[in-house]
């Protein structure tokens, strides 16, 4: 019995130990279950949903670009496309071969498709062909039994209703690069586009919009089972421009086949009403993909269709620069409106002779006569008296050789030289450089946009800045009223003297541009001609009497320029015209400017501001 009692006590201790161990294990399991289910239940539920639910972003519609009257300049339209789902075909190459017999695929297309098929899972659609027509889709549907894995899908694409006419202003979009997608995950979405030029690039972030989201239930390998929730993306903001699309078309039509550019400004507030560059290009080609042959054609064209000549083209201003020289001379007291300077047809400086465009000279001239006759000798002398630094300061003040605050990417500042600039390039400035600068030649380079701004400031006496955006996302942009721009720091009598000379150029007998006179007697135009040489003409050739620039090869002929404002008694519009290698400003650019200004005055786009006026009034309401 004593032995049995000992066994019982030993068994009881073991049972207690086992029981204690079981209780400890069960207690630990219970505590862990409590932590998992009660304390961290929400986190694990989320992890489970993440395995079951796939959240994806949806590309938002890109914002529209409109002209001043609400006409669509850039919008979106449906884009039907053929896609390939690799898992639905046993032979991808055979399917693509069959597709190519309906819609040919290039080697580049086949390489891209093959790369995408191997990069993604086999159930993810791969783009085969975009921009399908109804006939294309019908052909694909008819041949569907022979095209396993090919589906027709729909998305959106950018459209440009005015095509080449506004390509340099509106710009274009293109697929994002790898660097773009690294900076913004939104750009990795199928069908997304980014602005590459023009307003599309300048306002790209605002035009993109905000991505939407869709929740999809997926299986263990990520295949979509059903859609659980969808929130559409927010369309990008609309950009309302100052451009009058009808006027833009009229300007392009008037430029014809010339390699030329023209800018029309509201000289009261700086709104760009038209900015035309010829020749141009079709912006849709960048959206769908530019072929190698097309790219070679563009780059070999000596008329540079891809360049926005209005903001990037640099030209010597020629005689259009003479107003800036005159104002610098008047401000520095080197010249007065009544000073008379004799022009015998040349100015000798040491052993160098600087010629006037009129071989026999103009005789005695005052400032009005100097501008009216565009006398080179008169402005040689004014420049000599004034000095290049004062001329440069005046030109910069009026927008020449400076970066203007224009809402377009890639503009060039040009150059108005100074002594310091010349010394910085390792050369001393000499008086001959000043002489040729007096007629807008030498080192001087400006853009057509700068010329239009320059004339607008002369006409109104206000430091207007050119701008293209009236509204962005419904918000009125600053600069809509003349009083938004400060007065030029120059006496009114100085500006008046220059304006009178410009009026005489066109409207007074003996002026250099009678061809630019407006036919409608209600209005008068004030302007200035310019012809800028692109190569030096030797003294011997000039004095031989056999020099004729019209007989030179096209690329050696002078550029033709004309700047103007109207109406003269109440300036509202400014225009600049530059015709590359057009030879004579009076006979080539002047008539173009006349016709463009006539169209502007008849349309009077700045006089029809009801849409903007109404929105300004609405914006001012509390």
Active site residues: 319
Alpha-helix residue ranges (DSSP H) falling in 411-464: 419-424, 431-437, 448-460
What does the DSSP 8-state code read for residue 491?
A: -
Q: How far apart are CA 51 and CA 221, in angstroms?
A: 10
For residue 88, count other CB atoms closer than 10 A to its CB: 13
CA neighbor of 446 nearest in space, from 421, 411, 488: 411
In whole angstroms, what is the distance from residue 605 CA to residue 246 CA?
A: 10
The SS3 assignment for 257 reads coil
Q: Are 355 and 346 in contact (CB under 8 A)?
A: yes
For the chain, give percent helix, strand, coil, nearest 5.
45, 20, 35
- DSSP, collapsed to helix, strand or coil, labels residue 53 as strand
H/E stretch holding 21 reads: helix 2-34
* The residue count for the chain: 622
259, 583, 429, 322 alpha-carbon torsion, rounded to 10°: -100
Note whether 471 and 449 are within 8 A (CB): no
Indicate if the alpha-carbon torsion angle 439, 528, 373, 357 is positive or negative.
Answer: positive
Please name the helix (run of DSSP H) or strand (run of DSSP E) that holds residue 602, with its range, or none. Answer: helix 590-603
Q: Return all residues near 564 (Cβ < 8 A) that are at least 6 apart.
A: 455, 502, 506, 516, 525, 526, 527, 528, 574, 575, 593, 597
Element (H, E) at 579: strand 573-579
Name the CA radius of gyration of the chain, rounded.
Answer: 36
Q: Say whether 325 sits in a helix, a strand or coil.
A: helix
Q: In whole angstroms, give the CA distance from residue 180 to residue 16.
A: 69
Report yes or no: 530 and 319 within 8 Å, Cβ to Cβ: yes
Distance CA 112, CA 115 (A): 5
For 289-319, the three-class secondary structure string (H helix, E strand, C coil) is CCCHHHHHHHHHCCCCCCCCCCCCCCECCHH
């Amino acid at each position: 019995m004593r032995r049995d009692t000992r066994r019982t006590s030993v068994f009881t201790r073991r049972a207690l130990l086992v029981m204690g161990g079981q209780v400890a294990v069960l207690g630990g399991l219970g505590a862990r279950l409590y932590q998992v289910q009660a304390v961290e239940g929400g986190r694990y539920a989320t992890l489970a949903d993440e395995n079951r639910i796939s959240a994806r972003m949806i590309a938002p519609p890109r914002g529209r670009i409109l002209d001043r009257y609400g006409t669509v300049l850039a919008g979106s339209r449906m884009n039907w496309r053929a896609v390939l789902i690799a898992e639905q075909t046993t032979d991808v190459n055979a399917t693509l071969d069959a597709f190519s017999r309906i819609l040919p695929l290039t080697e580049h297309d086949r390489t891209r498709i093959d790369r995408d098929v191997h990069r993604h899972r086999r159930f993810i659609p791969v783009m085969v062909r975009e921009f399908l027509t109804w006939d294309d889709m019908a052909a694909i549907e008819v041949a569907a039994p022979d095209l396993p894995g090919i589906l027709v899908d729909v998305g959106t694409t950018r459209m440009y209703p005015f095509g080449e006419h506004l390509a340099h202003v509106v710009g274009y979009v293109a697929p994002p690069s790898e660097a773009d997608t690294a900076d913004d995950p939104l750009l990795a979405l199928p069908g997304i586009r980014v602005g590459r030029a023009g307003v599309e690039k300048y306002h790209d972030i605002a035009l993109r919009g905000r991505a939407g989201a869709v929740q999809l239930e997926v299986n263990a390998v990520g295949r979509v089972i059903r859609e659980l929730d969808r929130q559409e993306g927010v369309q990008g903001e609309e950009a309302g421009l100052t451009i009058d699309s009808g006027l833009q078309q009229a300007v392009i039509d008037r430029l014809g086949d010339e390699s030329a550019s023209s800018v029309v400004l509201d000289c009261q507030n700086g709104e760009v009403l038209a900015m035309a560059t010829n020749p141009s290009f079709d912006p849709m080609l960048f959206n769908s993909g530019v072929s190698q042959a097309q790219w070679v054609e563009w780059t070999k064209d000596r008329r540079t269709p891809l360049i926005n000549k209005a903001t990037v083209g640099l030209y010597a201003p020629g005689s259009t620069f003479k107003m800036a020289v005159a104002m610098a001379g008047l401000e520095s007291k080197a010249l007065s409106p009544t000073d008379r300077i004799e022009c015998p047809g040349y100015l000798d400086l040491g052993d160098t002779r600087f010629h006037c465009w009129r071989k026999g000279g103009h005789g005695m001239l005052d400032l009005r006569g100097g501008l009216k006759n565009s006398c080179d000798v008169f402005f040689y002398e004014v420049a000599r008296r004034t000095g290049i630094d004062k001329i440069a300061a005046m030109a910069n003040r009026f927008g020449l050789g400076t970066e203007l605050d224009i809402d377009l990417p890639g503009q060039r500042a040009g150059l108005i030289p100074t002594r310091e600039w010349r010394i910085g390039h390792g050369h001393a400035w000499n008086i001959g450089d000043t002489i040729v600068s007096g007629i807008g030649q030498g080192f001087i380079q400006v853009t057509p946009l700068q010329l239009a701004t320059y004339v607008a400031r002369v006409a109104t006496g206000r430091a207007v800045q050119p701008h293209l955006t009236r509204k962005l996302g419904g918000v009125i942009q600053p600069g809509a009223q003349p009083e938004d721009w400060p007065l030029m720091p120059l006496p009114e009598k100085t500006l008046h003297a220059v304006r009178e000379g410009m009026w005489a150029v066109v409207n007074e007998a003996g002026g250099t541009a009678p061809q630019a006179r407006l036919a409608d007697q209600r209005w008068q135009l004030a302007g200035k001609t310019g012809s800028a040489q692109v190569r030096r003409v030797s003294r011997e050739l000039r004095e031989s009497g056999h020099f004729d620039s019209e007989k030179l090869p096209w690329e050696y002929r002078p550029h033709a320029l004309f700047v103007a404002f109207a109406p003269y008694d109440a300036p509202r519009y400014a225009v600049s015209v530059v015709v590359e290698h057009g030879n004579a400003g009076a006979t080539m650019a002047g008539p173009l400017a006349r016709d463009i200004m006539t169209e502007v005055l008849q349309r009077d786009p700045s006089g029809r501001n009801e849409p903007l006026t109404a929105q300004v009034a609405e914006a001012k309401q509390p």
